Structure 1
């Protein structure tokens, strides 16, 4: 497993904030069995309409720059679903044919997901898993992701099983090895499919180089790469000059993951880590390209 120590040697600069790059095999999980079990569940995911709504608003603000302020006032209620697309009809109806085609392209679903949250309690080196259901998902960040999103809860068959509980315990173990005093961890899982069709790229990180708002993340545990190019995972350090310095890159293959400190770690360890994943495109444009991952947000509660 690659750690921040190996990365420090490669770049000639000390990185103290925790990074782990490896495979589920490093967690003593059989890769083939793990992938075979979880791949079918990605056909059950719900369309991520929030990504589409954000693209639509951005396009209309650019196209009707003089009305940008009025459109932005509708951004949050439309994004959260308290207002329908009808509130944008005034501007949509004014689009010419080329603009309408671009608006329709931006309205194509390129991401699907579901979600599940768990409490992991640790007593005498025993790990106990309890699922909790939260009504909405919000991130402690400075962009649109701070707004409330409601995603489909993962089916019980997907996440309430021995294989997934074992994975959760292993991830909690990664955190506990960094913080031995840890007794309770909250972990939110995101089963996500990114889709690319013809000239429509699949955005893995539409927010750009970013943090997720959790203490630790597994930015991606890849389950499937099908007919795609791209999806290079990148780790950055944000320096005092507010520039983002690229410190590590890797195209993750099925079974591989990146675990890293995410938010507030600069005060604990000294390095402010951010991350990004490049878009995907289909290798054969006659077929869709697909990337399936499980992402995890992890916060120490006690």
Structure 2
């Protein structure tokens, strides 16, 4: 497993904030069994319309810069779904035919997902998992992800089983290796599919280089790569000059993951880590390209 120590040697300076790059085999989980079990559950995900709404707003602000303030006033309500597309009709009616085609193209769904949350309690090196239901999802960040999003809950078959619970326990152990005193952890999982078509890239991280607002993340545990190029996972450090310096990159294959400190770690360890994943495109443009991952947000409660 690659850690911050190996990355420090590669870049020639010390990175203290925790990073783990490996495979589920490093977590003592059989990779073939893992992939075979979880791949079918990605066919039951819900379309993520939030990404589309954000692209639509950005497009209209670009086309009508003189109205960008008025359009932005509708952004949050439209993003959260309390306003419909009708709220944007004033500008939609003014689009040229070419602009309408472009708007229609960027309105294509390129991401699907579901969500589930768990409490992991640790007593005498025993790990106990309990699922909890959260109706909304918000991230402690400085962009649109701070707004409330509601996603479909993962099915019981997908996440309330021995293999998924074992994965959660292994992630909790990664945290406990860093913080031996930890007793309670909350983990939120995201099953997520990114889809790309001939002229439409699949954006894995439409917000750009970012943090997720959790103490730790498993930014991606890849389950499937089908007919795609791209999706290079990148770890950045925000430096004193407020620039993002790339310190690690890797195209994760099925069964591989990146676990890293995410938010606030600069005060504990000294390095401010951020991350990004490049878009995907189909190798064979006659068919869609697909990338399936499970992402995890991890917070220490006690």
TM-score, normalised with respect to structure 2: 1.00
- 1:274: which partner in 2? 274
Match of 2:105 in 1: 105
Question: 1:188 Cα shift?
Answer: 0.2
**Is the aligned partner of 1:244 residue 2:269?**
no
CA distance in 2, matches of 1:8, 1:230: 25
The residue aligned with 1:256 is 256
Query: Unpaired segments of 5 or more residues in structure 2?
Result: none
Query: Match of 1:161?
Result: 161
Quote how far apart the aligned CAs of 1:299 are: 0.1
Give the Cα–Cα distance (whole angstroms) in 2 for the partners of residues 199 and 172 of structure 1. Answer: 40
Q: CA deviation at 1:242?
A: 0.4
Question: Which residue pairs with 2:51 in the alignment?
Answer: 51
Please report how far the alpha carbon of residue 199 of structure 1 lies from its aligned counterpart in structure 2 after TM superposition: 1.2
Cα distance between partner residues in 2 of 1:281 and 1:93: 31
| SS in structure 2 at match of 1:248 | strand
Corresponding residue for 2:283? 283
Which runs of structure 2 are paired with 1:48-197 in the superposition (5 Å)? 48-197=48-197
Partner of 2:3: 3
For residue 74 of structure 1, give the secondary structure of its aligned residue in structure 2: helix
Aligned counterpart, 1:214? 214
SS in 2 for 1:233: strand
Gaps of 5+ in 1: none
Displacement, 1:93? 1.0
Q: Distance in 2 between matches of 1:93 and 1:294?
A: 39
Corresponding pairs, count: 302
Secondary structure at the counterpart of residue 188 of structure 1: strand
Instruction: Find runs of 4+ consecutive structure 1 residues off by over 2 angstroms.
Output: none
Once the two structures are superposed, residues 81-112 of structure 1 have per-residue CA deviations (whole angstroms, 9 ceiling, x without a partner) of 01111100111111111000000011000000
C-alpha distance in 1, partners of 2:46/2:93?
A: 28
Deviation readout 1:193-240 (Å, 9 max, x if unpaired): 000000100000100000000000000000000000000000000001
Task: Classify the secondary structure of the residue corresponding to 1:247.
Answer: strand
Following TM superposition, by how much is the alpha carbon of 1:31 offset from its aligned partner in structure 2, in angstroms? Answer: 0.2
CA distance in 1 between counterparts of 2:14 and 2:294 reads 29
